[in-house]
Amino acid sequence: MLEIGGNRLMIRRLFFIFAFLLLVHAATAKDERSIKGLSKALAGLARDVDPAEAELVSVTAHTTARKLAKDYRVVLNPELTVFLVNVGMRKRGWCGHWAQDIGAQLKELNLKTLERKQLPGGDCA
């Protein structure tokens, strides 16, 4: 009887491990599609845009955004995160913070065929 219960527990664990790996793979695949889509859109802005540079910008923007989500400790939705910033429970998380921090990473790339523009105002609408 103990062996049957042990087998069920093992099967349950293997099921949850498999489900977790499936979810991780789906999230990674979605990021890859998004990176490719942004790369293609950036390269399509003009004939002289270097596709490798467009891909570098896309990868940098995506990976920086993922890192910032962890750094900012984003919860549930943007509105709740902004509320937590407003009440002092988070230091950063407004959309302007995202723009500044991702922009700083993109600025370090020293792009040749793409130009980074700072929009006036600095706040998000």
61 within 8 A of 102, measured Cβ to Cβ: yes
pLDDT of residue 2: 46
- The answer to whether position 15 is within a domain reads yes
- The answer to whether position 97 is within a domain reads yes
- The answer to whether position 52 is within a domain reads yes
- The answer to whether position 74 is within a domain reads yes
What is the residue range of 32's domain? 2-107
- The answer to whether position 118 is within a domain reads no
Which uninterrupted H or E stretch holds 81? helix 78-86
Give the count of domains, the chain.
Answer: 1
Q: How far apart are the first and last CA of the chain?
A: 63
pLDDT (tens digit, 9 = 90+) per residue, 17-44?
666 555 555 556 578 889 999 999 999 9
Residue whose tokens read 């943007």: 78
- The answer to whether position 113 is within a domain reads no
Average pLDDT over every residue of 86-97: 92
- The answer to whether position 117 is within a domain reads no
